[in-house]
């Protein structure tokens, strides 16, 4: 009897928790769509609730206010983004620096294609100084980007990547990846470029690698051994 009573009390709680998680995810998905289209200032919580097909008070119940919902949406997009880049670096750690950076670029292009809101939200927030942009940089971007700057600097020293500020070089790679894919509708209409085509996506990665990593690895390069 005791076990049955415990199960009866636990199951409804689990169902409620599952419903809460589902509601939050629907609101986050709707928020990503709205913020990427209209920016923070141009988006209302009522618009987000309507997109999610939910009552407006649920936003304040789960996220308190628009700012907290924006951060939850940004965590969802940029958290997965930085995780994908970090994983790419770790998985290719034993490869030569050029192969490792090439793999990183391919992951970047793939993620930007699958989540176009990544750069759309970035462009929206970067258009003027604000606390959300500062938070985004410190929380999600700077830790991964600092590592990438070091990788590019090493490639410059090896003669693989063009000389210059490695942070600027990486920014150019980023814009060639995500910025290009964020313009998918315009590219298809103006140039007949279909970014939904797998071959086109691969060609984009190949061309970015060719442009920004034009040099060959030194013939005598060997991985550094740890003693």
DSSP of 64-118? SSHHHHHHHHHHHHHHHHHHHHHHHHHHTTTS-HHHHHHHHHHHHHHHHHH-THH
pTM to 2 decimals? 0.83
Report the distance separating Cα 109 and Cα 6, nearest Å.
50
Residue 121 lies in a domain: yes
Question: Where a domain ends, among 45, 64, 83?
Answer: 64
Same domain flag for 151 and 212: yes
* R_g of the chain computed on alpha carbons: 22
Question: Where a domain ends, among 38, 64, 90?
Answer: 64
The CATH code of the domain that includes 14 is: 1.10.10.60
Same domain flag for 197 and 130: yes
Domain span holding position 171 = 73-216
Same domain flag for 46 and 133: no
Per-residue pLDDT in tens (0 to 9) along the chain, 227 residues: 545 554 455 566 677 778 888 999 999 999 999 999 999 999 999 999 999 999 999 999 999 999 999 999 999 999 888 888 888 888 888 889 999 999 999 999 998 898 888 888 988 899 889 999 999 999 998 888 888 999 999 999 999 999 999 999 999 998 888 888 888 889 999 999 999 999 999 999 999 999 999 999 998 888 765 44
Query: What is the count of structural domains for the chain?
Result: 2
Residue 172 lies in a domain: yes
């Amino acid at each position: 009897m005791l076990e049955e009573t415990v199960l009866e009390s636990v199951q409804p709680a689990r169902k409620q928790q599952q419903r809460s998680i589902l509601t939050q995810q629907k609101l986050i998905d709707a928020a990503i769509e709205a913020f990427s289209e209209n920016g923070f200032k141009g988006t209302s919580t009522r618009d987000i609730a309507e997109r999610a097909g939910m009552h407006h008070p649920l936003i304040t119940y789960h996220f308190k206010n628009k700012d907290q919902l924006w951060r939850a949406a940004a965590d969802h997009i940029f958290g997965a983004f930085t995780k994908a880049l970090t994983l790419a670096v770790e998985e290719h750690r034993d490869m030569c620096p050029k192969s490792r950076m090439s793999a990183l670029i391919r992951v970047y292009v793939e993620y930007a294609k699958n989540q176009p809101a990544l750069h759309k939200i970035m462009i929206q927030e970067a258009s003027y100084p604000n606390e959300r942009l500062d938070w985004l940089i410190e929380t999600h971007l700077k830790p991964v980007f600092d590592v990438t700057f070091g990788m590019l600097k090493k490639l410059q020293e090896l003669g693989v990547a063009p000389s210059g500020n490695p942070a600027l070089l990486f920014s150019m790679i980023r814009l060639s990846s995500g910025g290009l894919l964020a313009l998918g509708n315009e590219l298809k209409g103006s140039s007949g470029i279909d970014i939904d085509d797998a071959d086109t996506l691969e060609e984009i990665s190949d061309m970015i690698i060719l442009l920004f990593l034009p040099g060959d690895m030194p013939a005598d390069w060997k991985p550094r051994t740890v003693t």
